[in-house]
Structure 1
Amino acid sequence: MTRDLRMTKVTGPQKLGPLTPLVGEWEGDVGVDLSYHNKDDITGETTYFEKAWFKPIPVQENGRQELWGLHYGMTAWRHGEEAMDPFHDELGFLLWDKTNCEVMRTVVFGRGIAILAGSSAKLGDKVLTFDAKPGAPHYGILQNKYLLERAEIRDFKSTFTINDDGTFSYTSDLLLKLAATGEEMHHTDKNTLRRVKRYHPSVEHA
């Protein structure tokens, strides 16, 4: 008897661990950025449209450590400016250390900021957390001299959530010490994206 593959959910290898569901290209139109606007000297919200991609990379071997992961990019445009230059762009890697049950996010922003963030995670987790602090010996933060003097990053927290409906959501929170006000503020971003392209054949289509 021949099995009907359309009735069988094929999940494939899980070498990417909890990063597996992210592979592909995504779009989201409900982004909200809360930040300090230097030119206007106010804190305000910006809504945005975003594109993201996540592509598998070769296994990375650091001695006995094996890291499986994704090269990724995320680009955002303010609503009404989709045909213009984006206001945000980032590139990085998401990494999975199966043996030590850790996920990592290495990311660089065009503003001159580099972050290596991470936390514990296991296969099947649908909520991934990435934390970093300046000066930490492993999960830390670097920023250019001007930004360090004007908007010092004191903490970074981010979550990626795989939703039951097949979408993916993220939140990002940068705790900043602003020279202009002398106070701390949370610069936050959040969005929900849907997959618009898969990179490999599947019985489930985007």
Structure 2
Amino acid sequence: MANAHGPRRLGPLTWLVGEWEGDTGTDVSYHNREDETSPTGYFEKAWFRPIPLQENGRQRIEGLTYGMKAWRHGEEAMDPFHDEVGYLLWEASTRQVIRNVVFGRGIALMAGGDADAYDSSFTVKATPGDPNYGILQNKYLSGRAELRGFEGTFTFNEDGTFTYTQTLVLKLGALGGVEMDHTDTNTLHRVKRYHPGSEFN
């Protein structure tokens, strides 16, 4: 990644532009039906598309709109068990990278962290109640599986793939209010490139 050239308007998000697939995902979470915490393998599809420059007064933000869907191994022909849409944003002047995302389970969060244009990885974090990088969730989850923290990292690998890892800290009602880490990780390879100036339907 260090040898990449160009103006890097998208900063560290540059390498994500395109469509991706990954078949080595691992989800470690609590399963209500089995009353146990165990890993689940999954297949995933993702896309990342540039958006127009966003200006708020003197603020200038570049970014991507994106979507990610995941299917448990053995359920690829069925509905995905995970679905998210959102934005990945980068503000060069403040070195802030932002993940603004909505999950199909009724969760919305804005996570942020520091990043430079040519970084080969970045990490974002969110905490409930934070006025900038916070978390919202529906009433059921607040009572049964309250999201207490989020941290996610994207790493761009030398072979052209990217790896993400993320941890959601959950306070589980089924476990008497005990907090546990729900982790996900996958490595995806690009299956389609986009020209940054293209328009998409």
Query: Normalised by the size of structure 2, how large is the TM-score?
Result: 0.93
Residue type of the alignment partner of 1:41: D
Residue type of the alignment partner of 2:161: T
Unaligned runs of 5+ in 1: 1-8, 202-206
In angstroms, what is the RMSD of aligned CA positions? 1.3
Q: 2:119 aligns with which of 125, 128, 137?
A: 125
Q: 1:192 aligns with which of 163, 173, 187?
A: 187
Which residue pairs with 2:101 in the alignment? 107
What SS class does the counterpart of residue 129 from structure 2 fall into? Answer: coil
Shift of 1:12: 3.9
Residue type of the alignment partner of 1:114: A
Residue type of the alignment partner of 2:179: E
CA deviations over 1:96-116 (Å, ceiling 9, x no partner): 000001100000000000010
- 1:55-74 to 2 correspondences below 5 Å: 55-74=49-68
Which residue pairs with 2:135 in the alignment? 141
Describe the shift of the 1:10–1:190 C-alpha distance in structure 2 as closer, same or farther (beyond 3 A).
closer
Q: 1:116 aligns with which of 110, 119, 125?
A: 110
Point out the structure with max Rg over C-alpha.
Answer: 1
Residue type of the alignment partner of 1:40: E
Count of residues in Structure 1 that have an aligned counterpart in Structure 2: 193
What SS class does the counterpart of residue 122 from structure 1 fall into? Answer: coil
Describe the shift of the 1:10–1:139 C-alpha distance in structure 2 as closer, same or farther (beyond 3 A).
closer
CA distance in 2, matches of 1:76, 1:155: 22
Query: Normalised by the size of structure 1, how large is the TM-score?
Result: 0.91
CA distance in 2, matches of 1:177, 1:56: 36
Shift of 1:123: 1.0
Give yes or no for the alignment of 1:180 onto 2:174: yes
CA distance in 2, matches of 1:138, 1:173: 19
- 1:19-58 to 2 correspondences below 5 Å: 19-58=13-52
CA distance in 1, matches of 2:4, 2:130: 41
Residue identity over aligned pairs, in percent, reads: 66
